[in-house]
């Protein structure tokens, strides 16, 4: 990750909406521009900023980031929870686009040295992420339709059963199409294919799980063991004060990762896979089953991070 090496003279906070962007440097009156390529391009060429900050807004911030990257302006996409905590620290209770833009600029001016700059992601990685996200959406639709089909039969049950059957068949076809698209993408990308291959050498990690991990956590292989566990949302954080040693809970990180790793961790609980001895040892030491499963998930992500960093496959 890249960072700024000197204090930015002018930070611009950009509160992005679907049709407009409110821009502020925290000192002058905010400016509103249209969220289209022409307006953003003209603004970026004349803004004179040293650092531009925006929040993730469902993809509506993409034009701004791309224009800044073309113009060579450093960009940081802010973690929304961190920004909200920063704004609350001032005692600010109101919320407007102008307030958010000004606080974004203040956040950048104060925290610039620890804010990683946006780097243009690999095109293949972006496509894999989009395909995996769509696959997860289709799986959720399939589960919802299946649950509706299993509900107690209401009036017009025959017509509803036909509708459920047709929907499940259509969703199944779409999932197969997405799987085929992922396979084609991996065949064209040696780097992604190699990373998937390294992940699938672990017992219990199949191709769909490996693709989901690489898409959701592309940083795997570049992190320390503690960073990997924290980013995956599997690190127990201390809650100590004075003589009190409170119960440590896992929190934060990316919530998708524990969901992806839950089934591979269950294999260890069933006595299968390379982490089964680790799970049994935790249980014998008095760990509760769910805590042991969480520990196995953490062990999986740390091990995968190390294997991807070293680009190694264990020999059978």
What pLDDT does 315 receive? 57
Domain boundary among the residues 49, 82, 114 is at 114
pLDDT confidence of residue 190: 92
Buried b (16+ CB within 10 A) or exposed e, 216-248: bbbebbebebeebbbbbbbbbeeeeeeeeeeee
For residues 68 and 21, the answer to whether their CB atoms sit within 8 Å is no
CA distance 250 to 254: 11
Q: What is the predicted pLDDT for the residue at 249?
A: 84
Residue 286 lies in a domain: yes
**Token pair for 75:** 């960009």
User: Any idea what the CATH number is for the domain that residue 42 is in?
Assistant: 3.30.420.10
What does the DSSP 8-state code read for residue 3? -
Pair 235, 299 in one domain: yes
Q: What is the mean pLDDT of each run of 10 residues along the chain (316 residues)?
A: 90 95 92 95 92 93 94 94 92 91 95 92 90 95 92 77 93 96 93 93 91 93 92 88 83 90 92 92 93 94 94 66
Sorted by sequence, the CB contacts under 8 Å of residue 144 that are 6+ apart come out as none
Q: State whether 218 and 302 are in the same domain.
A: yes
How far is it, in rounded angstroms, from Cα 192 to Cα 305? 15
Place of tokens 């919530």: 255
Residues of the domain holding 218 = 213-310
Predicted model pTM: 0.80
Does residue 254 sit within a domain? yes
Please count the structural domains in the chain: 3
User: Is 195 part of a structural domain of the chain?
Assistant: no
Per-residue model confidence (pLDDT) at position 120: 83
Domain assignment of residue 130, yes or no: yes
The alpha carbons of the chain give a radius of gyration, in whole angstroms, of: 24
Shared domain check, 106 and 32? yes
* Segments of the chain assigned E as strands: 11-16, 20-24, 31-34, 51-54, 75-77, 236-237, 240-241, 244-245, 249-250
Residue 314: what pLDDT? 67
Same domain, residue pair 127 and 86: no
**Does some domain include residue 194?**
no
Q: Are residues 305 and 228 in the same domain?
A: yes
Predicted pLDDT of residue 252: 84
Residues 6+ apart with CB under 8 A from 287: 295
Owner of token pair 């509506």 = 60
Query: Per the structure block, which two tokens stand in for 46?
Result: 């004349």
Residues 182, 202, 207: CA angle, nearest 5 degrees = 15
């Amino acid at each position: 990750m890249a960072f700024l090496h000197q204090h930015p003279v002018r930070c611009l906070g950009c509160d992005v909406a679907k049709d407009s962007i409110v821009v502020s440097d925290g000192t002058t009156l905010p400016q509103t521009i249209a969220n289209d390529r022409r307006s953003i391009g003209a603004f970026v060429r004349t803004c004179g900023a040293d650092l531009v900050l925006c929040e993730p807004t469902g993809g509506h911030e993409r034009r701004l980031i791309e224009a800044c990257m073309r113009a060579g302006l450093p960009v940081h996409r802010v973690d929304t929870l961190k920004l909200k905590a920063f704004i609350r620290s001032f005692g600010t209770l109101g919320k407007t686009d102008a307030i958010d833009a000004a606080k974004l600029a203040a956040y950048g001016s104060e925290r610039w040295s620890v804010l990683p700059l946006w780097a243009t992601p690999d095109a293949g990685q972006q496509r894999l992420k989009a395909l995996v996200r769509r696959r997860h959406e289709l799986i959720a639709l399939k589960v919802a339709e299946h649950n509706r089909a299993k509900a107690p039969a209401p009036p017009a049950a025959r017509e509803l059963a036909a509708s459920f059957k047709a929907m499940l068949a259509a969703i199944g076809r779409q999932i197969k199409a997405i799987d085929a698209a992922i396979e084609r993408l991996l065949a064209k990308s040696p780097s992604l294919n190699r990373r998937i291959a390294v992940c699938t050498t672990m017992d219990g990690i199949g191709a769909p799980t490996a693709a989901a991990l690489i898409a959701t956590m592309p940083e795997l292989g570049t992190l320390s063991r503690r960073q990997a566990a924290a980013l995956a949302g599997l690190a127990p954080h201390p809650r100590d004060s004075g003589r009190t040693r409170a119960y440590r809970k896992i929190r934060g990180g990316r919530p998708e990762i524990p969901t992806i790793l839950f089934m591979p961790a269950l294999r260890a609980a069933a006595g299968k896979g390379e982490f089964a001895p680790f799970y049994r040892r935790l249980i014998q030491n008095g760990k509760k089953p769910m805590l042991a499963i969480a520990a196995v998930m953490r062990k999986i992500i740390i091990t995968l991070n190390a294997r991807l960093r070293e680009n190694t496959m264990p020999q059978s």
